[in-house]
Amino acid sequence: MARRLIEREATPSQQWLGDRMAGCPVHEVRERLRAADLRPTLQRIALGWLLFGRGNRHVTAESLHEEATVARVPVSLATVYNTLRQFSEAGLLNEIGIDGSRTYFDTNTSRHHHFLLEDEQMLIDIPEGRIKVDGLPEAPDGMEITQVDLVVRVRRLARPS
């Protein structure tokens, strides 16, 4: 089934843009993996297609595994975890840990922060440049600050009855 997903024909809704199709087709995923020095295995391509084919988004290993199951991509949850970590290490994803209990993977690798919708356990991007982080402490000796991740927790207001 993974091979069927990978070798499928472009649908009429996918439009050609020069020599590239909209919607991150499989050949673009293959090239993205090669550019990141990752071997484009069938499972990586299938998971990459699921991840990058819908624009910028946030997933957990569990939610991506569920999507793969629905798409009939035969991968274990452990393979999904390993692939997400490999993609993160290669710079294809940003890994965002929340309270040490949940990890999200973000396809938007630009520097930006997030809202966490507490009731839904969902991340939403805060556009770049909307938050200024100032007054950081100096890094310990022999270290440098590489990134600051800010998560702003929000919840929906209760509607009056």
Per-residue model confidence as pLDDT tens digits over 44-96: 999 999 999 888 999 999 999 999 999 999 999 999 999 999 999 999 999 99
For the chain, the structural domain boundaries read: 2-106, 110-161
Beta bridge partners of 106: 58, 94
Give the separation between CA 48 and CA 144, rounded to whole angstroms. Answer: 32
Structure tokens at 58: 């946030």
Please tell me the predicted confidence (pLDDT) of residue 73: 93
Please tell me the predicted confidence (pLDDT) of residue 142: 96
pTM of the model: 0.75
What are the Cα distances from residue 35, in Å, to 38, 48, 51, 111, 141? 8, 13, 17, 21, 34
Please tell me the predicted confidence (pLDDT) of residue 27: 86
- CA dihedral sign of residues 125, 146, 97, 29: positive
* DSSP codes, 19-59: TEETT--HHHHHHHHHHTT----HHHHHHHHHHHTTSS-EE
Please tell me the predicted confidence (pLDDT) of residue 114: 92
Q: State the CATH architecture for 2-106.
A: Orthogonal Bundle (1.10)
Per-residue model confidence as pLDDT tens digits over 3-47: 444 433 333 323 323 334 444 478 889 999 999 999 999 999 999
Structure tokens at 35: 């550019």
> What average pLDDT does this structure show over 122-150?
89
Please tell me the predicted confidence (pLDDT) of residue 34: 94
> What average pLDDT does this structure show over 96-109?
90
